[in-house]
């Protein structure tokens, strides 16, 4: 029996990270005997999704990393994509390195991933060159997310902003509405659809339905985070019914014949 402790660095108003990530890994536990996961969270204060609150919140991530390293977690996941992406190009690398050093200074060195870094790296690993995304953010924040992704060399050909400023309300959105929202998203010529570029916007129940509907790979920030958690732990990157990235079959780069 192999047991893994997953540390989650979570905005205080986030109610989805601790729902969807455990849901995926518990689903995996049902399929793969011999693995168990437990989940341990520390929270950063944030109520409204705006640049000022996001920057203040990010400073608090160091405290969270120390608290979770006290629990000797096997991997830490910083779960706020836009808090990273609003800080400027490649900030996920600086954040992940700083938090890892923080755990080392606390004598419990742990690998650290971020949902922002996980999404960008996963898209590149999939070979995605052109994507479309859905976010819950106000349009100026969505633009920052688009710019951040494009600065890594991936073109965002379309985005939909649901414009929900209250983070609690984002967590209350019905994920099944995304099955219809995607109809308004331009997907011709895209390699991948990012159904939720936010770990607070619920999406997991809709992912496989949307992927089957549009016939293109579908990923979310939460799915990319789980993918990197599993990779970091040296485990097979498989979760059933969670879209292309977590399928059991080999996942070569997307063909654009």
Residues designated catalytic? 80, 198
CA distance 253 to 234: 20
- Give CA separation, 233 vs 113, 115, 143, 249, 255, in Å: 12, 16, 33, 19, 28
Instruction: From 51, 53, 79, select the one nearest 64 (Cα to Cα).
Output: 79
Per the CB < 8 A criterion, the answer to whether 91 and 23 are in contact is: no
Cross-sheet strand order for the sheet of 2-11: 35-44, 2-11, 75-78, 112-114
Sign of CA dihedral 205, 162, 40, 70: positive
Number of Cβ within a 10 Å radius of residue 3? 10
The two structure tokens encoding residue 252: 């070569």
CA distance 148 to 84: 10
Alpha carbon of residue 154 to chain centroid: 17
The two structure tokens encoding residue 47: 């109520």
Per the CB < 8 A criterion, the answer to whether 218 and 193 are in contact is: yes
Alpha carbon of residue 202 to chain centroid: 11
């Amino acid at each position: 029996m192999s047991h893994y402790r997953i540390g989650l660095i979570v905005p205080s108003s986030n109610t989805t990270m601790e729902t969807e990530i455990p849901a995926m890994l518990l689903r995996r536990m049902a399929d793969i005997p011999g693995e168990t996961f437990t989940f341990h969270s520390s929270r950063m204060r944030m109520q409204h999704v705006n640049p000022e609150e996001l920057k203040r919140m990010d400073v608090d991530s160091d405290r969270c990393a120390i608290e979770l390293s006290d629990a000797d977690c096997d991997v830490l996941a910083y779960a706020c994509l836009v808090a990273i992406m609003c800080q400027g190009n490649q900030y996920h690398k600086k954040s992940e390195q700083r938090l890892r050093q923080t755990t080392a200074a606390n004598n419990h060195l742990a690998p650290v991933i971020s949902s922002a870094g996980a999404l960008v790296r996963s898209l590149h690993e999939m070979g995605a060159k052109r994507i479309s995304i859905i976010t819950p953010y106000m349009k100026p924040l969505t633009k920052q997310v688009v710019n951040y992704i494009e600065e890594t060399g991936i073109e965002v050909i379309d985005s939909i902003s649901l414009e929900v400023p209250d983070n609690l309300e984002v967590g209350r959105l019905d994920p099944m509405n995304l099955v219809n929202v995607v109809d308004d998203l331009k997907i011709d010529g895209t390699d991948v659809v990012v159904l939720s570029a936010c770990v607070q916007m619920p999406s997991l129940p809709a992912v496989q339905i949307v992927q089957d509907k549009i016939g293109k790979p579908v990923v979310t920030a939460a799915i990319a985070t789980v993918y990197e958690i599993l990779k970091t732990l040296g485990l097979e990157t498989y979760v059933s019914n969670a879209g292309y990235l977590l399928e059991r079959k080999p996942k070569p780069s997307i063909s654009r014949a």
